Amino acid sequence: MSALRVRGPAAILRGELTVPGDKSISHRAVILGALAEGETRISGFLAAEDCLHTARALAAMGVEIDGVGEPEMVVHGVGLRELRDPGAVLDLGNSGTGMRLLMGVLAGQDFAATLTGDESLRRRPMDRVAAPLEEMGIQVTGQGKGCTPPVTVHGGKPQPITYHTPMASAQVKSAILLAGLYAQGTTVVIEPGPSRDHTERMLRAFGAEVNVDGLRVSITGPPRLRGQEIAVPGDISSAAFLLVAGLLVPESRVTVREVLLNPTRAALLDILERMGADIQIANRREVGGEERGDVTVRTSELTATEVGGDEIPKMLDEVPILALAATQAKGQTVIRDAAELRVKESDRLATTAEMLRAFGAQIEELPDGLVIEGPVHLNSAKVNSHGDHRIAMMAAIAGLVAAGETAVQDAECIATSFPGFADSLGELGAEVTTDE
């Protein structure tokens, strides 16, 4: 689709549905499945562009994967040291997660490989991963002082280190832990705050010796990883758009089933409840080391809040949709400590502010966050996604609240994380069309 058109204000949104598999877990499942011995069966894999680029990169390095592009996949693991030189540059598309995690994997190989991506990814800094890998004795070369892609990892024999990350980042932590699989001894990562912990959980499930003590995570290598069965829960970052729509559109009731409820990812639900949202969670349970459940929201009157500190890493991807919710909350909402959003697929603080102003919101951009006044009446707008899937989806939900027809240009980027997004809105009763 080149444009997504939404007519608002939506009358009522009602329904129960699922969202695609969690992006973070899908990346990690296919990577660890490739490094394990034996078969790894993955159900619920996110068959979206980001994760498919990771799977294709592994296939280019000799990993046989059945069902690439399907929700059910089988990865025939080659073990830690049997990846092969791809013989060509590996294209990760728009996937920063795929690139940073694979940098950690490539650190332990006996060849050099170059990773690149689309125009957006080539602007994103890789120095935060390159720095610890170089401390481990691995040469990494990239472009400019930020080590932007294309980036080349000259594989070798990583040495165990203790590394204090300058920011709470699951991607940085995961890259170091993956490189630590190849180090003889114990590699330690110490973060200044909590970040999502999918890598630690999954490494343990595959047989690695991983210890977590507060903000300190260690891995002892090299382990022997064994293939697993992994059921990927629904992505809470994708569910967030539908849930906020259900909160804002009058007389609505929306249920998203089988949603990831990992406590390092679910802060948005806590924040929305603090703002007065009617949220109910049913069928909560743990499957394969990850908590999941069915989340139901009903239309609610929201009150402003302040968000920052340790909450931010637990809902960083949800800041744009939270900002939209704040436009309909009574009072001034302040979001701080989110400067990391400036180096995502777009400068998400700038694009969120620009997008919401186009709808008539009162929003101020801070160096590390946003200040939003509410509630305000939103009007329809013609906006551009800036090639950022989360900005595009946020704009579509704003269109459900606004009066008139909203057009979101360059909406094809939504396929990066949520193929079928427009269909899901339609299932709930929204008026949505796409221009091909």
pLDDT per residue as tens, the chain (436 positions): 589 999 999 889 999 999 999 999 999 999 999 999 999 999 999 999 999 999 999 999 999 999 998 879 999 999 999 999 999 999 999 999 999 999 999 999 999 999 999 999 999 999 999 999 999 999 999 999 999 999 999 999 999 999 999 999 999 999 999 999 999 999 999 999 999 999 999 999 999 999 999 999 999 999 999 999 999 999 999 999 999 999 999 999 999 999 999 999 999 999 999 999 999 999 999 998 899 999 999 999 999 999 999 999 999 999 999 999 999 999 999 999 999 999 888 999 999 999 999 999 999 999 999 999 999 999 999 999 999 999 999 999 999 999 999 999 999 999 989 999 999 999 999 999 998 7
Which helix (H) or strand (E) segment is 394 a member of? helix 389-401
Tell me, rounded to whole angstroms, the distance of Cα 431 from its chain centroid.
Answer: 27
List the catalytic residue out of 22, 91, 235, 317: 317
Rg (CA), the chain: 21
Superfamily of domain 23-231: Enolpyruvate transferase domain (3.65.10.10)
Fold of the CATH domain 3-20+233-435: UDP-n-acetylglucosamine1-carboxyvinyl-transferase; Chain (3.65.10)
Best CA proximity match to 183, nearest among 155, 158, 219, 204: 158
Beta pairing partners, 298? 253, 278
- CA dist 99 and 54 (Å) reads 8
Residue 416, class by beta-carbon neighbours within 10 Å (0-12 exposed, 13-18 middle, 19+ buried)? buried
Phi, psi angle pair for 208, to nearest 5°: -80, 155
Taking the C-alpha atoms of residue 320 and residue 143, their distance in angstroms, rounded to an integer, is: 29
Q: How far is CA 326 from CA 306, 320, 330, 336, 388, in A?
A: 10, 10, 8, 14, 20
347 is catalytic: no
Q: In angstroms, how far is the first alpha carbon of the chain from the final one?
A: 4
pTM of the model: 0.92
Q: What angle (nearest 5°) sits at the alpha carbon of residue 36, between those of residues 33 and 41?
A: 40
| Nearest residue to 324 (alpha-carbon basis) of 271, 366, 277, 378 | 378
Backbone dihedral angles phi then psi of residue 383, each to the nearest 5 degrees: -130, 165
Question: For the chain, what is the largest distance between any 2 Cα atoms, rounded to a whole number of angstroms?
Answer: 62
Are 324 and 300 in contact by the 8 Å Cβ rule? The answer is: no
Beta bridge partners of 276: none
Sign of the CA dihedral running 198, 193, 313, 54: negative
**What torsion do the CA atoms of 41, 200, 61, 128 make, to the nearest 10 degrees?**
150
- CB proximity list for 398: less than 8 A, separation 6 or greater: 324, 327, 355, 356, 359, 378, 381, 406
Cβ-based neighbour number of residue 270 at 10 Å: 15
Residue 364: predicted pLDDT: 97
Domain boundaries, the chain: 3-20+233-435, 23-231
User: What does the DSSP 8-state code read for residue 327?
Assistant: H
pLDDT at residue 24 in the model: 96
Token couple for 269: 């639900």
Whether the CB-CB separation of 132 and 163 falls below 8 Å is answered with: yes
Q: What does the alpha-carbon distance between residue 305 and residue 332 come to, in Å, rounded to a whole number?
A: 7
CA distances from 102 to 33, 90, 288 (A): 13, 10, 23
The neighbour count for residue 74, using CB atoms within 10 Å, is: 16
Identify the H or E element spanning 186.
strand 185-190
Phi (first) and psi of residue 143, to 5 degrees: -105, 125
| Domain 23-231 in the same topology as domain 3-20+233-435 | yes
How far is 103 from 207, CA to CA, in rounded Å? 21
Cβ neighbours of residue 46 closer than 8 Å, sequence gap 6 or more? 20, 21, 22, 23, 26, 232, 235, 417
